[in-house]
Amino acid sequence: MSKLFPKMVDKLQRIDQLIRLKATGQPQELADRLEISPSTLYEYIEVMRSVLLAPIRYCHNRRSYIYEKEGKLHIGFKNNQKLNNLI
């Protein structure tokens, strides 16, 4: 299995955690904290927005990325056993 995907998932989960804490800092600070380039950070943010449908925006007042709605990023398989039992 490629080592790239688990690393990306780890970074996405860390970004999510910092967004929920409203503590990402400015993009360069966040990229430095995650030990990635700013361009990679922007790619991850875009994946979160367009693929994972996370309502992320940058707040200039807080100097942090924030979610426009309360929530949490969820990456993984969710068992639909309860749904199947209802059918």
pLDDT digit string (tens) for 30-82?
999 999 999 999 999 999 999 999 999 999 999 999 999 999 998 877 777 65
What per-residue confidence (pLDDT) applies to 82?
A: 58
Angle made by CA atoms 69, 6, 25, in degrees to the nearest 5:
45
The reply to whether the predicted model has a pTM over 0.95 is no
User: Cα–Cα distance between 58 and 30 in angstroms, integer?
Assistant: 12
Amino acid 86 reads L
Tens of pLDDT, residues 13-28: 999 999 999 999 999 9
